Structure 1
């Protein structure tokens, strides 16, 4: 399903379908049928978005491992220079 189909309710077959007027078969539908079609289309879009989000999360978390630290262990803490602006010396600062 393309973003165009999700927004307009039909898939463009030719560049002429991208003109402001939709094709005749989409115009002839009555309001209730069109509303049901668009509602089902949006449900499919929502399901696809949720499925892809879960897939992206699963792939991103594949190589991540939980950090279990014990009291007294040494850790490396990286603080950004924005936290201590007075200690930061810029490139042009003498």
Structure 2
């Protein structure tokens, strides 16, 4: 633990040193940012590809689908969906069954 004298000295140095200004909203992003975004495995995934995934391939804990007609949202845990419909079931088919049961 620093002594009070050391704390005063550190505070005085912090006041004298200019702090880096926060990045402006329109400032360019670091080069590594876009590299990491594009290397993310979800970057190239389209909605159609997500719908064609098997339940065993989905990493999310909770699956959610909403009806366009009635705006109802249905959620199910991935583990429960696998138990009820099987690991090889397509998410598209499971989602349709869930909406058929509620809408």
Q: Quickly name the TM-score band, shorter chain normalised.
A: under 0.3
* Higher normalized strand content (fraction of residues): 2
TM-score of the two chains, using structure 2 as the length reference: 0.26
Q: Which has the larger radius of gyration?
A: 1
Structure showing greater relative contact order (alpha-carbon pairs closer than 8 Å, 6 or more residues apart): 2
